[in-house]
Amino acid sequence: MRYLLVDKVAEWKPGERIKGLKNVAMTEDFLEFHFPKNPVMPGVLLIEAFAQLTGWLEAVSSDFKRWFLITRVHQCKFYGFALPGDQVEMEVERLPGSTPGQSIYSGIARVEGKKKVTVEYEGDVIGLDEIEDIEEQKKFFKVLTRGQ
């Protein structure tokens, strides 16, 4: 199973930062058991959403030659839950200390302006062509950005 956890890329500055949205829908299968009769989006999937958004930043910053794979979470704090019906606004920023093969990022997620998650993480930068068809990913990025 593959979860696509970024519903929209709102803005970006190549090599520096990106903003995106995740809409939490009641129909998402992970909500059925997390938790029964009290659905909340799992925190680990929010971290995965940050990793996917970071992948899009690496891709758009490299003319779709690179992608990001998370390898380590330095720090993560949760301040509340993301619930069905919420629109999670995510911001990712590249941090100093990144190298060509490994990057460090920080992220913050908000719902209706209220902080829900902060995270600092690092990962490997790999060739996008190792895992995806580049032309298909370019098309998908146009969908996520509404052609911006």
87 assigned to some structural domain: yes
Give the CATH number of the domain where residue 116 resides.
3.10.129.10
141 neighbors 3 (Cβ within 8 angstroms): no
Active site residues: 34
3 assigned to some structural domain: no
Candidates 23, 49, 22, 45; CA nearest to 33 is 45
Quote the tokens at residue 99.
């190298």
18 assigned to some structural domain: yes
89 assigned to some structural domain: yes
Per-residue confidence (pLDDT) for residue 100, from 0 to 100: 78
State the pLDDT confidence band at 102, using cuts at 50, 70 and 90. Answer: confident
The mean pLDDT value for 60-78 works out to: 97
Per-residue confidence (pLDDT) for residue 148, from 0 to 100: 83
CA angle 114–120–121, rounded 5-degree value: 135
96 assigned to some structural domain: yes
Quote the tokens at residue 73.
């979470």
111 assigned to some structural domain: yes
Q: Give the helix/strand (H/E) hosting 68.
A: strand 66-78
Q: Dump pLDDT digits (tens) for 4-16.
A: 999 999 999 999 9
Domain containing residue 58: 8-143
Q: Tell me, what amino acid is at 80?
A: G
Computed from CA positions of residues 50, 53, 58, 59, in that sequence, does the dihedral angle turn out positive or negative?
positive
Split into its structural domains, the chain has a count of 1
Q: Dump pLDDT digits (tens) for 116-129.
A: 999 999 999 999 99
